[in-house]
């Protein structure tokens, strides 16, 4: 099935350490890297870098 190669990861703000966002990530195959996205941090009221963290 298509969903077997995916798992949930949490995105943690690199400045505050708060985990706001949850997303899916492919876990098998080539080129699987840690996710880093710019997302909105409500605590700081601006966009900051969010890095992947496991549960």
**Domain count across the chain:** 1
**Does 31 score more than 90 pLDDT?**
no
Per-residue pLDDT band at 30 (split at 50, 70, 90): confident
Q: 27 is in which domain, residue-wise?
A: 2-53
Q: Report how far apart the first and last C-alpha atoms of the chain are (Å, whole number).
A: 23
- For the chain, what is the mean pLDDT? 89
Q: Is the CB of residue 9 less than 8 Å from the CB of residue 35?
A: yes
> For 46, phi and psi rounded to 5 degrees?
-160, 170
Closest CA to 42 of 20, 25, 12, 23: 20
**Separation between Cα atoms, residue 51 and residue 23, nearest integer Å:** 11
Give the CATH number of the domain where residue 42 resides: 2.20.28.120
Provide the pLDDT confidence category of residue 3 given band limits of 50, 70 and 90. Answer: low
């Amino acid at each position: 099935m298509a969903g077997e190669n995916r798992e949930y990861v949490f995105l943690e703000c690199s400045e505050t350490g708060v985990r706001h966002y949850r997303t899916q990530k492919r876990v098998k195959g080539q080129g699987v890297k840690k996710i880093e996205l710019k997302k909105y941090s409500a605590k700081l009221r601006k966009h900051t870098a969010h890095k992947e963290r496991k549960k």
